[in-house]
Amino acid sequence: MNVVMASDGKLGPVRVWALSAGGMVGGGIYIALGVVIAVAGQWAWASFLLAGVVAVISAFSYGRLSSHFGKSGGAFEFLEEMDRRSLAGSLSWLLMIGYTLTISVYVYAFGHYVAYAFGGGEMLIRGLGAGAGILLIGLNLAGLGKMTSVEVVIVSVNLLVLLVLAIWGMSEWSTPALTAGIEPRPPSGALVGAAAIFVSYEGFQLLTYEYDEIRDAKRVFTPILASSAIFVVLVYIAVTLGGTMLAGALTVVDRKQIALSIAAEEAAGTAGLVVMTIAAGFATAAAINSTLFSTAKLAARVARDGELAAWFDHENGQGVPDRPVVLIGILATAMALIGSLSSLVEAASLVFLATFVVVNVVCAREMRRQRAIPIVGAVLGGIIGVVLLARLAVTAPIPLAILLVLAALVFLGRPLVLKRVRTEGSKDREDGDGDASDADTDEEKGS
Amino acid sequence: MRVALLLLLLAGCATSEPEHSGLRLVALAQGPGALHVQVCPEDADSCDDLTVTRGTVSDALELVPGIHEIRVSATEDGPVLSRFEYGFGPGAEYALALYGVADEPTHVSWTAEAKDLLGGIDEPFVAGFQLAHRMVPLRPPDADEAGEVRLVHGAPGAQPVRGTLALDSETIELPAVPYGAMGEAVRVERASGRLTLSFEGSPLDLAHVDLEPRPGTLTVVYVGAIEDGSLEVFTDRVGVSPR
């Protein structure tokens, strides 16, 4: 059997594993490292471990629920299957906000990493970010949003570069580098750090939208998601330690937008910088591409179920949900150009934490076996969520307020909005009414 | 072959002296004319003692990599106003800016501690205008790269400070930096220029400084306490310029 591409055209296990791991590593680590060291200092590795425990458990829960219901669609589908349509609709709106923020983080990272290699300033950073956003919207519209073969290559190279950096850094181990230039942080900082960088683990979710495309999914999906998440936790811990060894803690924090380029430059000079820039550029571009594709598909799917305006359920000649692609892509690019890094990363973290907690709760309710695992995930995710709320209240009250207002609008205002806009449900009713009146007219004509 | 392997093994086992760290102390604090600073390694009996006059940067102290406790007082025999720890990595250079009002020992409330825990080292103002500190990495660009300029704001009670660097044919904006923070290092292609500082949103100039941000150098512009109605501003340049 070909484990990469199965003979029936479906995704083989190796490809699914690579896409799951790459979906997580794609953009997160490039901008999360400086953020987490600023908060957790020498305990940054423990932050990735703590957040990783929630991510691994959530991957397990996503896998089991996908296999249980046997459908693509992730959290939205799980809740719909449980007849929680309203909650499913609200959560899907929140997820779309979260994905849009995540794409903007990737655009931000792309602009900074590539511009740094060319010695560019703020204008070049913004120009590159905007260019990447527009180019990838175009690629998606041309039907190239799902380039799994290309993605697998990019993911593999990206993981290889990160692992080489991590091993190189750890081979130069020096414990003082963990606190170089910073005040040692208390162990409790690890919890705050876990809250700040949780978004780095969201990527595996995208695979749940492709469940129908996976060969022998019922058997392989859960172990693939869980094992890829475990692998990514180990990669993040290794890169955190290795990167800090090479650049020193204060430099990683000070140059957080390009921390891994600085570390690679310290390790191998210009060659290191070039390799890291290529890896970061392609990894973030691939992450933008695949996240945009999946989010647009989710929007179209949600619109088809009448939980979003019917306007979103529109395909171009390539079968691409073009309107969501353009709208989400432009919003994300614009936010990347005007927003600050930390608030973007953390606002997105809050959305995904909430979603993971919900999925773990659903898993604990639906599954008869091993229920303790998702319960632990939900409790730990809830604790990290509360810490993140407290952190945002202190460090970024305005982005937090905006996010809470958006969440309130989603939960309270969504039904009102859906009553006022044309949805698939209302369209069907209108079509039904139209058919009936047509029939009446025909009868009248006949008589 | 065996000899080569043995040599490789020996090279791998060889121990070398750890590279020292360099630490400059920068006195920006309002109040005393100088600050007395003790830098004490975690596991050692002896400390480095230094007195730094306000508005100056000390010579670099050579420190063994590791965690050091730093004690700051107004005089050599006076009470310790602030006591804190920093880690120092091998082969790195730092400047420790001491700013705020140095009139009495700092008191860190539980809310300040909570803000520090939640905000991390990026969040300034955790102890109001009390004596505080910020570590500045002195990592100049390579000798063939453009020079860099960055602002450090240590004037208690002052609005965020921004800079406009006028060069021969262009001006470069240094984004506003709030009290207790340092701005990003901004690349400057020209070798000399005039920096004008002002409060964010204000058209009034606060101070002018002539800079020579040559390639391969990092120029740090420190904004210290307000004395006699004007900001105390001074610069420190590190790095090796090819010219």
The pLDDT-based confidence of A445 (bands split at 50, 70, 90) is very low
Taking the C-alpha atoms of residue A393 and residue B164, their distance in angstroms, rounded to an integer, is: 33
Of the ranges A238-252, A391-405, B134-148, which is most confident? A238-252
Region B219-232 average pLDDT: 85
CB pairs under 8 A between A and B: 103
Q: Which residues contact A76 (CB under 8 A, 6 or more apart)?
A: A88, A91, A92, A95, A298, A301, A302
The pLDDT-based confidence of A431 (bands split at 50, 70, 90) is low
Interchain contact B186–A (C-beta under 8 A): yes
pLDDT at A339: 64
pLDDT at A60: 96
Taking the C-alpha atoms of residue A55 and residue A205, their distance in angstroms, rounded to an integer, is: 10
Instruction: Work out the minimum CA distance from A400 to partner chain B, whole angstroms.
Output: 14
Whether residues B89 and A189 touch (CB distance < 8 A) is answered with no
Half-sphere exposure (CA, 13 Å, Cβ side) for B97? 30
**DSSP code per residue over B136-182:** EE--PPPTTSPEEEEEEE--TTPPPEEEEEE-SS-EEEEEEE-TT-B
Distance of CA A418 to the CA centre of its chain: 26
List the one residue out of A215, A202, A230, A216 whose CA is nearest residue A359. A202
Sorted by where each begins, the domain ranges of chain B are: 19-138, 140-243
Nearest-by-CA chain B residue for A391: B118
Condensed to tens digits (0 to 9), the pLDDT of residues A48-91 reads 999 999 999 999 999 999 999 998 889 989 998 888 888 898 99
Mean confidence (pLDDT) of chain B: 86
Condensed to tens digits (0 to 9), the pLDDT of residues A257-278 reads 899 999 999 999 999 999 999 9
Interchain contact A272–B (C-beta under 8 A): no
Chain B CB contacts of A342 below 8 Å = 122
* Weakest-pLDDT range from A148-157, B15-24, B183-192: B15-24
pLDDT at B114: 87
The alpha-carbon radius of gyration of chain B (Å, integer) is 20
Beta-bridge mates of residue B97: B26, B134
The C-alpha angle B156, B160, B164, rounded to 5 degrees, equals 125
Q: Which residues contact B73 (CB under 8 A, 6 or more apart)?
A: B35, B36, B79, B80, B81
Q: Pick the residue with more confidence: B154 or A399?
A: B154
Instruction: Work out the minimum CA distance from A129 to partner chain B, whole angstroms.
Output: 19
Whether residues B85 and A248 touch (CB distance < 8 A) is answered with no
Q: What's the CATH number for B140-243?
A: 2.60.40.2890
Which residue's entry shows tokens 């945009």?
A: A292
Taking the C-alpha atoms of residue A209 and residue A212, their distance in angstroms, rounded to an integer, is: 8
Residue A140 has pLDDT above 60, yes or no: yes
pLDDT at A145: 64
Q: Compute CA distances B206 → B49, B163, B233, whole Å.
A: 34, 10, 10
Amino acid (one-letter) located at B97:
A
Residue B12 has pLDDT above 50, yes or no: no
Other beta carbons within 10 angstroms of residue B91's beta carbon come to: 15
Which long-range CB contacts under 8 A does A424-429 form with residues at least 24 apart?
A424/A303, A424/A304, A424/A305, A424/A306, A424/A310, A424/A313, A425/A306, A426/A306, A426/A310, A427/A310
pLDDT at A372: 94
pLDDT at B152: 96
Residue B36 has pLDDT above 60, yes or no: yes
Top residue of A35, A37, A39, A251 to mutate, by most chain B CBs within 10 Å, is A39
Nearest to A182 among B114, B121, B145 (CB): B121
By three-state DSSP, how is residue A6 classified?
Answer: coil
Half-sphere exposure (CA, 13 Å, Cβ side) for A49? 11
Region B143-161 average pLDDT: 91
Q: Pick the residue with more confidence: A299 or A1?
A: A299
Contact call for residues A250 and A95 (beta carbons, < 8 A):
no
Taking the C-alpha atoms of residue A362 and residue A153, their distance in angstroms, rounded to an integer, is: 35
Taking the C-alpha atoms of residue B195 and residue A19, their distance in angstroms, rounded to an integer, is: 50
Q: Pick the residue with more confidence: B39 or B19?
A: B39
Condensed to tens digits (0 to 9), the pLDDT of residues B164-173 reads 999 877 888 9
Instruction: Work out the minimum CA distance from A160 to partner chain B, whole angstroms.
Output: 25
Taking the C-alpha atoms of residue B150 and residue B135, their distance in angstroms, rounded to an integer, is: 13
Q: Compute CA distances A360 → A59, A200, A403, whole Å.
A: 9, 18, 22
% of chain A at pLDDT higher than 70: 90
- B140-243 has the same fold as B19-138: yes
Burial of B223 (0-12, 13-18, 19+ CB in 10 A): buried
Taking the C-alpha atoms of residue B220 and residue A125, their distance in angstroms, rounded to an integer, is: 23
Region B61-83 average pLDDT: 92
pLDDT at A382: 96
Interchain contact A31–B (C-beta under 8 A): no
Nearest-by-CA chain A residue for B121: A38
The pLDDT-based confidence of B220 (bands split at 50, 70, 90) is very high
Residue A112 has pLDDT above 80, yes or no: yes
Nearest to B85 among A119, A180, A184 (CB): A184
Condensed to tens digits (0 to 9), the pLDDT of residues A297-348 reads 999 988 988 888 889 999 988 888 999 999 999 999 998 887 665 666 677 7
Condensed to tens digits (0 to 9), the pLDDT of residues A26-36 reads 777 888 899 99
Taking the C-alpha atoms of residue A330 and residue A316, their distance in angstroms, rounded to an integer, is: 17
**DSSP code per residue over A83-102:** T-HHHHHHHHHHHHHHHHHH
Q: Is the Cα torsion angle B46, B47, B48, B53 positive or negative in sign?
A: negative
Interchain contact B6–A (C-beta under 8 A): no
Architecture per CATH, domain B19-138, reads as: Sandwich (2.60)
pLDDT at A168: 95
By three-state DSSP, how is residue A409 classified?
Answer: helix
Taking the C-alpha atoms of residue B191 and residue B241, their distance in angstroms, rounded to an integer, is: 10
**DSSP code per residue over B138-151:** --PPPTTSPEEEEE
Mean confidence (pLDDT) of chain A: 87
The pLDDT-based confidence of B7 (bands split at 50, 70, 90) is very low
Taking the C-alpha atoms of residue B241 and residue B216, their distance in angstroms, rounded to an integer, is: 5
Q: Which residues contact B186 (CB under 8 A, 6 or more apart)?
A: A121, B148, B149, B150, B165, B172, B174
Contact call for residues A115 and A268 (beta carbons, < 8 A):
no
Residue B240 has pLDDT above 90, yes or no: no
Taking the C-alpha atoms of residue A8 and residue A131, their distance in angstroms, rounded to an integer, is: 37
Q: Compute CA distances B12 → A171, A177, A309, B91, B189, whole Å.
A: 11, 20, 65, 20, 42
pLDDT at A394: 87
| CA distance from start to end of chain B | 48
Region A398-415 average pLDDT: 86
pLDDT at A2: 38
Taking the C-alpha atoms of residue B145 and residue B220, their distance in angstroms, rounded to an integer, is: 17
| DSSP H or E segment with residue B52 | strand B48-53
Interface of B with A in 187-216 (CB under 8 A): 187
User: What are the structural domains, with CATH classification, of chain A?
Assistant: 13-419 (1.20.1740.10)
Contact call for residues A170 and A242 (beta carbons, < 8 A):
yes
